[in-house]
């Protein structure tokens, strides 16, 4: 994966579109100091991904028509604004072309909820409630 040093003094991946060498767009800085990033640079996200020398990665149909999520997508796509790019392994920093797929909004929402992608990139997920220490559990021990 190509990364580029930028003015934030940290490494961000390069835009997913083939032929674009700009760093990805930062949507916001989270409360914990981590960056919420897109798969594309600002210029490509604003609609200039069809410029000369750049091959867009975003497809024109939902890739779940083959049933890769456990069901077949039958959504009618009227415009590309109904499609979103999804990181298969839920790691936004892994901007490899094989890790990014195009899904409609319904399929993307289902995958995010089903896989738990929105839980801070699966940083820490507690499965045993006895492992969580709170003021009450300290008092009870």
Residues 123 and 133: their CA atoms lie apart, in Å, by: 18
Quote the domain boundaries for residue 108: 3-140
- The residue with tokens 């940083």 is 123
Per-residue pLDDT band at 47 (split at 50, 70, 90) = confident
Of the candidates 86, 112, 84, 82, the one whose C-alpha atom is nearest the C-alpha of residue 100 is 86
Q: How many domains does the chain have?
A: 1
Residues in a beta bridge with 26: 37
For the cut 50, the answer to whether the pLDDT of residue 6 exceeds it is no
Q: What is the pLDDT of residues 53-108, one digit of tens each?
A: 888 888 999 999 999 999 999 999 998 889 999 988 888 888 888 989 999 999 99
pTM of the model: 0.69
């Amino acid at each position: 994966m190509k990364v580029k040093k930028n003015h934030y003094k940290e490494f961000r991946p390069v835009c997913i579109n083939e032929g674009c060498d700009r760093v990805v767009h930062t949507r916001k800085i989270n409360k914990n100091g981590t960056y919420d990033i897109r798969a594309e640079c600002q210029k490509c996200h604003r609609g200039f991904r069809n410029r000369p020398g750049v091959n867009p990665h975003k497809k024109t149909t939902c890739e779940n028509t083959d049933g890769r999520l456990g069901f077949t997508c039958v959504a009618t796509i009227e415009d590309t604004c109904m499609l979103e790019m999804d990181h298969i392994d839920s790691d936004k920093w892994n901007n490899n072309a094989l890790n990014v797929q195009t899904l409609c909004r319904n399929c993307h929402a289902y995958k995010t909820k089903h896989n738990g992608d929105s839980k801070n990139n699966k940083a820490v997920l507690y499965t045993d409630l006895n492992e969580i220490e709170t003021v009450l559990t300290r008092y009870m021990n």
